[in-house]
Chains A and B, each alone.
Chain A
Amino acid sequence: MSASLTPDSSSERSTVRQDPDPMTGRPRRSFVRRMLDPKRLVVSVAVVAVVVTVAANTAFAQTAVPEPTAADKFVQSTNLLWIVVGAALVMFMQAGFALLETGFVRAKNAGHTMAMNIAVFGTGAVGFFLCGYALMFGGYYVAVPGADWGYSHAIGSALIGSGQWVFLWKGGWALTGGKFVTSGAVLGFFLYMLAFMDTAATIPTGAMAERWKFKSFVLWGFFCGALYYPLFGAWTWGGGWLSQLGNSWKLGNGYVDFAGSGVVHAVGGVAALTGAFVLGPRIGKYTKDGRSRGLPGHSLALAGAGTLILMFGWFGFNAGSTLQITDGQFGLVAANTAIAAAFGCIGGMFWVWKRTGKPDPGMIMNGLLAGLVAITAPCAFVDPWAAAVIGGLAGLFVVEAVFFVDHKLKIDDPVGAVGVHFVNGIWGVLAVGIFASGKYGIDAFGTGLGWNSTTTHLDSAGSATGVTGILYGGTGWGQLASQGIGALTIIIVMGGVSYGFFKLSNLIFTGGIRSSAEDEIAGLDVPEMGVYAYPDFVGTGESYAEDETQSKIPYEG
Chain B
Amino acid sequence: MVHLVTAVIKPFKLEEVKEALQAIGIQGITVCEVKGHGRQGGHTETYRGSEYTVDFLPKVRLEILVDTGDVDKVMDAIAKSANTGKIGDGKIWASPVDRVVRVRTGERDTEAL
Mark A residues whose CB is within 8 Å of B.
291-296, 352, 355-358, 360, 362-363, 399, 402-403, 406-407, 416, 553-557
Contact = CB atoms under 8 A, between A and B. Distances in A.
B52 A294 contact: yes
Interface centre among A356, A399, A402 (most CB of B within 10 A): A356
Contacts of B51: 291-294
Interface in B16-75: 45-52
Contacts of B106: 554-557
A362 B48 contact: yes
- Leading 7 A-B pairs by shortest Cβ distance: A294-B47, A294-B52, A294-B50, A292-B50, A556-B106, A356-B46, A403-B49
Interface string B85-105: 000000000000000010011
A352 B48 CA distance: 8
Nearest to B46: A356
15 contacts: A291-B51, A292-B51, A293-B52, A294-B46, A294-B47, A294-B49, A295-B47, A356-B49, A360-B46, A360-B48, A362-B47, A406-B50, A407-B50, A557-B101, A557-B106
Given A406-B48, A406-B50, 7 more contacts: A291-B51, A294-B46, A295-B47, A403-B49, A554-B106, A555-B106, A556-B105
Give the size category of B's interface with A: 10 to 19
A67 to B, nearest CB: 59
Contacts of B105: 553, 556
Contacts of B49: 292, 294, 352, 355-356, 360, 363, 399, 402-403, 406-407
Nearest to B48: A362
A294 B104 contact: no
B46 A293 contact: no
Nearest to A285: B50
B48 to A, nearest CB: 5
Contacts of B101: 557
A360 B47 contact: yes
Nearest to B107: A556
Nearest to B45: A294
A468 B47 CA distance: 40
A555 B103 CA distance: 8
B50 A293 contact: yes
Contacts of B46: 294, 356-358, 360
B57 to A, nearest CB: 15
Contact of B47 (A296, A399, A555): A296
A444 B35 CA distance: 64
A363 B48 contact: yes
A398 to B, nearest CB: 11
Nearest to A554: B106
